[in-house]
Structures are given as structure tokens and as C-alpha cells.
Structure 1
């Protein structure tokens, strides 16, 4: 195994992040059509974590580049507003998806005669108390099943400036504070309200922020050092052993062994809302193994034209389209047993549409630049402007940008 230091990603966009985001998007689409044959082969069948944990970790990693560098360069307000704007976009997409979910399931009940659909994914509350539930939809406190990831992500982006503020003091401090918040969320059952029902969000952002912060931490480490996590043989062995334990637990249904351990549920359970420790350790182990993949591995040599990387570049529209198609798939399948031909056609067609959408968005981005001329898309990046100005003045461009991360400098990686 080659050390991570010798596997530093190129200075441009790291297409491995897009690749794994694409993998997560495909698995989310498949998992969101329960009862299909192919859900037996997604990551949740081989370990404690699933595509959701991977997606949130990668979101944190990408945020170090999208918002963190700007924040550390002295543009705190711009970075904050940029994160808040993205959060607002996620809220609008969430409202659209919730409305479409209502429409798709209502159509299934009327056109296909499947009235039982209106008692699923949280729709029974809407039927019983439509006025109160509409308030819940508008405020995102009532979330339908399979349409509940984006609200958590939107809240994480609202938390991001606070994480960046602490990270500018110390990355380790940021991670420590995040871990304490995660622990307090479990101990005191801190969650956002699920009005009009009791309880809280299924994806509790107060707990999931730790996965996001871990991604943010690794993103900054890559910016500063050229690699996200260092290579240590004993850590590779430990991560591999833990992943094997997770696989054996699922394969041989050994859940009772974990439950018998004399520790709190947070340390031995598999709760998704509060991200129990076994789930957290599993996503950390997975990330560590693949981050230290061999230099000749296909996971270390991902190119821009990789189909899954193409999906990951357009994660939000691909996720939204996948969610709509998965909801339609739920209605059409409606408790039918797995069937090789039907499931292959459904899943295959859906994935093909996602690839077609991503390919179109790639083409559209280029087409706009060609149509508008050579100056299209060249918005002024204040961080790069300061870097350039500092270089022309003979200063260290990192010092000119004020990009300090703890005791090390944050250098551009794109």
C-alpha cells in the first residue's frame, strides 16, 4: 500500500468526490423503491451506514472548498450568504418534492385504486388534519418518508458559518465542539420539532452535523496538506476489521450481540436519527479505506468523464429527479414482490434517465459559455482576485488572501 502522502489529488477538481456522490445518488434512488430486487445489493446490506451518511460526509468535504476557502480569505459575510442562499434553494426544492409526493400518491390512490397509499409515508396525518399538516409542510416540520433528507442538509448549511468560525481558530476544536453537540443531542433528546406530530425529525441535524463536520475537517486537511487522511497500516487494518464485523453482523443477523453489551444505545445501537456510534464509525472506516486506495486503483484515478462523476457534479437536480421517479416507482410497485424483469426495467430506466439528465446539464453548461462568448461565466472570485493581487505585489499569495487555517495556510486546490 502506498502512503497517502504520495497519492495527493491533483490541484484541480477532485473528481473522486463527484464519483462517490454519484454512487450515493444511485443507491439512494434504488433504496427509495422498497421491494425491488436491486436494493439487496446497495451498501446498507454490507454495513451499518448507508448512502445517506456518505452523501452528508461528502457535502461537508465539498463545503470546505465551496465556502471554507472564501471564509478564511476574509470574506465571512459573502461565504455566509452563499451558504444561506444554497440552503434556501434546498428549501424550495424540498417544497416542490413534497407537493409532487402528495400528487403522485394521490394519483396512485385515484387512478390505480390503491387507497392504502394515502396511509403511507406520512400522508395519513395530512388526510386526518390537512390544515395543521400544511403548516408542517410549509415549515418543513412535517416531512414525508423518502422526502426528508434535504431539510436536514438545509439546516446543516445554516450551521456552517458557526463551524467555519470555530474551524478558523482550530480544526480540532471544531471537531471537538461538534462531537459534544452530537453527544448532548442524544443525552437530552435534542431535535427539531415534527409538528403537528410529536417527536422530532428522522434525520436530526443536531446529530448529523457531526458527519458533516467530519467531512469539513477532511476537506480542509486536503486543502492544506494535499490529502484528506494520512495512511497508517494499523488504521487500515482496524478499518477493514470493523467493516468485516459490520458485514458479519448483517449477514448473520447478530444484532442481539450488540444489544447485549452493557452500554448506552448511543454506543451500541444503530439508531439513524441520532447517528449511533456504530453507524458513525462505519462511515469513518469506509471513507478511510477508500481515501487510501492504491494509486493504481480505479477509485484513485477517476476522470471527469466518468459517468458516476458526471452524476455527482449535478447532485441536486439528479437527486430531485431520482426522488420523483422513486416515488412513482413506489406507487407502481405497491407491495409487489421482487421480479427480475420488472425491477430491471424500472431501475435501469430510472438510472438511464438520471445519466441523461446529468449529460444534458454538462452539455448545457458548455453550450451557454459558447453562446455567450469567451467572457461567459467569468464572475469575479474575490479569493482568487486577492491571490492574484498578492502575487503581483511580490507577496505570498496565501498571506495576501489571509487564508490561515490554525497554524497552516489554506491553499487553493481547484
Structure 2
């Protein structure tokens, strides 16, 4: 297969939009993982069909397409595959290590709040430790709030197949991805979870968003500008985002919901997250088109000092996500003890964001000049 048939122009510098929006998604996910805080009412899930999970998955695919696509063309399949597998195992190890750390954290908290093992979906690990650890290693079990990382592990192990196909025959890659998405919906295909049910993020459906991200990143060219600059697509995207906003607002304000026709409600509900409902996928696509259209990669705002903490969190997304899981559960436990006023909710939430940002800034200081390239998840 000729990897050099269409070679996109190399990126002159990091696309800070990727790190910025990854950082934002990590902040929003952290806030959403604290059920007691009022701040989770202001995250994207309350204003549209999609939320931060779509951002994280797409941008992970986009960064992977850029990094591994360029590496495959310049160094060949073997070198690219080794890099992809190494990163996949890094994410896998991070998943397992975070399970262990969360177990230690919850064991400590349980001295005051015995029900925390159930809240964290860790009770089964105490009841059947050997079997549960085996299932965690097989990617069929995960505690609470680690579902997105489990999805990322599975998707990244598939990179060695997806990236070469996306570069060598992208129409086949997209057609196959769409076909799998459609079949998974039609025939209710899923990966069973342990001890029951299915994985919260069904990889057979969420892979489509990941593959689209890889395709967009690996095959950069002028054709993308034609899509982003299309006035008709921008109008359609803005209209759909507005429609999603009104419908979602109706879920919280029943006076608005009363104006939604019954036939429309039957048509769109439920907007399933587990299987990446088509309405969520389209909503994210519309948002992504508008963001990339109106925020070019050379926008001066991306250089603003106030955005540096967010951008650094996005740059070190794997470490920051793992830490955010531990911090959000600690915040949940602290607020559930009874001190749950607006001041304490604000303080605990902001403290977690500050700690995440401080870690990301520290990692950047350590890595400065050593790891200059764009980093996948």
C-alpha cells in the first residue's frame, strides 16, 4: 500500500485548539462527576444533545490521526505500529493503576462512609477480588467514572488497523465504520460488562466518532477548508445546535417542553448516550464545524496566558483524566458528609480544577523541550 500517495502538509506548530478543547472537556467531566455541585448544571450536557465525552473521543481520534498518520507516511508501518501499541499499553496501564488507586481511596473514605464502595461500583471487587481483577484486565469491568478511559483503551488498541486503512483507503474505512455503527444499533450489538449489563460507552458505536477524528486528522488538505467555509453547512449546523438547545432546555423547564409536539418527542427520545445516538453525533458534528470555522488555529486568543492552564490539561490529558477521577470522588465524598452549601460546592470544585491545572503545568515544566510533538490522549 502506498502511504505517500497523498501527503498532507506538515503542521508547523501544535494546533492549540485540540489541547484547549481537550482541557475544557476534562474540566467539564470532572465537574459532572461531582453530583452534589450546582456547577454541573452549567456544563454542555445541559445545553445540547452531546457533551464533553464526544469532545474527548473525537479529539483523541484527531490527534491520533495527525501524529500516527504523519509517522506512518514518514517512517513506515512498523515504526507507527510500535508507537501506537506503546501508547495503547500506556493508557491500559493507566486504567488499571487508577482502578487500584480508586480502591485505596474509597477504602480510606469508607471508614466514615460505608456506602462508598457501592457508590464507586467497587463492592463487587471486595466480594470477588480475583475474578473482578481478571475482568478489569480483560476490559469488561470498571469502577464508576472510569468508563471513558476504558473506551479509550479499546479504541486505541484498534489504531493499528484503523490508521493504515484511513490513510490507504479512507472511503472504505469510513464506510466500514458507518456500517458497524448501523449494525450495532439495528442488531443491538454490544460488549458485555462484568458482572452484568454492557459497557457504558459501547465501543461498537463510539468508534464512529473516533474514526471520523482520525480521518480528519490524517488526511489534512484544502478540501477541509471547503467544508469549514461552506455557508450552507454553517447555517444548517447553527440551526441544529439551536434546535438541540431548545429541546434540552425543555428537559429542565417544563413550560418549554409543553410546546414540543408529541410526535417529535416520540421520534427523538431517548437520546441514548451509551450507544451514541445519531442526534448526539450530529449535534457534536455541528458544534465541531462551527468551532473550527470561527476559531482558526492561528487565532490570537489561543496564545492568551489565561488559557494556559486549560491548554496544559489538554496536553497531558491522560494523567489529568486519571487524577480527575480520584479528585472528583474525593469531592463527592466530602460534600456528601453534610457540608454541602453553595460556598463549599464552589470551593471543593475549584480546588480540584486548581490541582489538575497545577499538575499539568508541572508536567509541562518537566517535559519542556523534551516532548515537543502533539500527544494523543
TM-score of the superposed pair, with normalisation by structure 2: 0.86
Contact (CA 8 Å) 1:249, 1:255: kept in 2 or not? no
1:172 Cα deviation from its structure 2 partner: 2.8
Contact (CA 8 Å) 2:227, 2:233: kept in 1 or not? no
Shift of the 78–223 alpha-carbon distance from structure 1 to 2, 3 Å rule, reads: farther
1:337 Cα deviation from its structure 2 partner: 8.2
Contact (CA 8 Å) 2:151, 2:201: kept in 1 or not? yes
Shift of the 261–117 alpha-carbon distance from structure 1 to 2, 3 Å rule, reads: same
Q: Is 1:320 matched up with 2:322? A: yes
Q: In the alignment, which of 327, 330, 333 is matched to residue 332 of structure 2?
A: 330
Shift of the 294–138 alpha-carbon distance from structure 1 to 2, 3 Å rule, reads: closer
> Take 2:198 and 2:360, find their aligned partners in 1: how far apart are those partners?
34
Q: Say which SS state the counterpart of residue 179 (structure 1) adopts.
A: helix
1:210 Cα deviation from its structure 2 partner: 0.5
Shift of the 309–171 alpha-carbon distance from structure 1 to 2, 3 Å rule, reads: same
> Take 2:338 and 2:181, find their aligned partners in 1: how far apart are those partners?
39
Alignment match, 1:19? 20
1:342 Cα deviation from its structure 2 partner: 0.3
Shift of the 247–84 alpha-carbon distance from structure 1 to 2, 3 Å rule, reads: same
Alignment match, 2:30? 29
Q: Say which SS state the counterpart of residue 142 (structure 2) adopts.
A: coil
Contact (CA 8 Å) 2:85, 2:160: kept in 1 or not? no
Q: Say which SS state the counterpart of residue 145 (structure 1) adopts.
A: coil
1:287 Cα deviation from its structure 2 partner: 0.2
Q: Say which SS state the counterpart of residue 36 (structure 2) adopts.
A: coil
Structure 1 residues 333-342 or 51-60, which shifts more? Answer: 333-342
Alignment match, 1:251? 249
> Take 1:40 and 1:163, find their aligned partners in 2: how far apart are those partners?
36
**CA offset digits 1:260-304 (Å, max 9, x no partner):** 45988xx75311121010111111011011011066x99674128
**CA offset digits 1:3-58 (Å, max 9, x no partner):** xxxxx997311111111111111111111111201111111111111111100000
Residue ranges of structure 1 left out of the alignment (5+ in a row): 1-7, 370-375, 380-414
Alignment match, 2:360? 358
> Take 2:191 and 2:101, find their aligned partners in 1: how far apart are those partners?
24
Alignment match, 1:411? none
Q: Is 1:81 matched up with 2:120? A: no
Q: Say which SS state the counterpart of residue 274 (structure 1) adopts.
A: coil
Shift of the 94–304 alpha-carbon distance from structure 1 to 2, 3 Å rule, reads: farther
Q: Is 1:340 matched up with 2:338? A: no
Structure 1 residues 141-150 or 131-140, which shifts more? Answer: 131-140
> Take 1:300 and 1:190, find their aligned partners in 2: how far apart are those partners?
45
1:184 Cα deviation from its structure 2 partner: 1.4
Contact (CA 8 Å) 1:37, 1:339: kept in 2 or not? no
1:399-410 equivalences under 5 Å are none
1:227 Cα deviation from its structure 2 partner: 4.6
Shift of the 129–10 alpha-carbon distance from structure 1 to 2, 3 Å rule, reads: closer
**CA offset digits 1:155-188 (Å, max 9, x no partner):** 1111112222322333233222111111112222
Q: Is 1:176 matched up with 2:175? A: yes
1:191 Cα deviation from its structure 2 partner: 2.2
1:127 Cα deviation from its structure 2 partner: 4.0
Answer with 1 or 2: which has the greater Rg: 1
> Take 2:183 and 2:342, find their aligned partners in 1: how far apart are those partners?
46
1:1-400 equivalences under 5 Å are 11-73=12-74, 75-110=76-111, 112=112, 114-195=113-194, 197-222=195-220, 227=225, 229-253=227-251, 254=257, 260=263, 269-293=270-294, 301-303=301-303, 306-307=307-308, 308-334=310-336, 339-366=341-368
Shift of the 240–117 alpha-carbon distance from structure 1 to 2, 3 Å rule, reads: same
Contact (CA 8 Å) 1:156, 1:212: kept in 2 or not? yes
> Take 1:262 and 1:348, find their aligned partners in 2: how far apart are those partners?
37
1:121 Cα deviation from its structure 2 partner: 3.0
TM-score of the superposed pair, with normalisation by structure 1: 0.79
Report how many aligned residue pairs link the two structures.
358
Contact (CA 8 Å) 1:109, 1:116: kept in 2 or not? yes
> Take 2:299 and 2:233, find their aligned partners in 1: how far apart are those partners?
19
Contact (CA 8 Å) 1:15, 1:304: kept in 2 or not? no
